[in-house]
């Protein structure tokens, strides 16, 4: 198991990545750190070729686990497939992507389902703020999500709703967010 970088090491690494990006015309925003020390960052480059050059330039500094071009429309997927993908993102601490993925389920949903999906999106948003070092904002978002974490059955598309609710309640009681699986 690799060691999680210290805060000063994270800041130095982020500064290095930003310097490389800046030298290639890329703008890097919204850094988010996972509990296992991985950095997720939004990179805006003038073109796909410039982005590819940026990725090639940082690969000697760190392994690039994935990239995603947000200018490309995603292919159609069934609701079940979208939810399966969202759960995978959540469990891998890729909360921003989980949030974005769930919006395609939330938009057409209605009633209790819309409230529940919105609560999961809020939980993701809270974790994004936690990854940015904004704990108080994250806890406030958890407070907004908690009343909406309700479902008539124990599972929603494979997501254990009582466990989700229990984890949010625990985080609020302890005043800190620890990653958990859904």
Burial (0-12, 13-18, 19+ Cβ within 10 Å), 94 = buried
- Give 86-114 pLDDT, tens digit per residue: 999 999 999 999 999 999 999 999 999 99
DSSP 8-class letter at 44: E
| Mean pLDDT, the chain, integer | 91
Mean pLDDT of 28-49: 87
> For 153, which DSSP code?
S
CB atoms within 10 A of CB 150: 13
Query: What would the CATH number be for the domain defined by 79-174?
Result: 1.10.3450.10
pLDDT digits (tens, 9 = 90+) for 108-120: 999 999 999 999 9
Boundaries of CATH 1.10.3450.10 in the chain? 79-174
């Amino acid at each position: 198991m690799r060691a999680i970088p210290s805060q000063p090491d994270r800041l130095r690494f982020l500064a290095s990545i930003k310097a490389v990006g800046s030298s290639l015309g890329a703008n890097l925003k919204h850094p988010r750190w996972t509990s296992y020390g991985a950095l997720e960052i939004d990179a805006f480059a003038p073109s796909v070729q410039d982005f590819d050059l940026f990725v090639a330039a940082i690969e000697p500094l760190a392994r690039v686990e994935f990239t995603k071009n947000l200018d490309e429309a995603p292919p159609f997927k069934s609701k079940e497939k979208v939810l399966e993908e969202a759960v995978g993102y959540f469990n891998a601490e890729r909360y921003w992507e989980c949030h974005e993925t769930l919006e395609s389920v939330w938009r057409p949903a209605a009633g209790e389902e819309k409230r529940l999906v919105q609560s999961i999106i809020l939980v993701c948003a809270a974790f994004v703020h936690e990854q940015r070092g904004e704990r108080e904002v994250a806890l406030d978002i958890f407070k907004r999500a908690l009343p909406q974490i309700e479902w008539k059955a124990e599972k929603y598309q494979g997501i254990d709703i009582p466990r989700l609710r229990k984890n949010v309640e625990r985080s609020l009681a302890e005043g800190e967010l620890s990653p958990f699986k859904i």
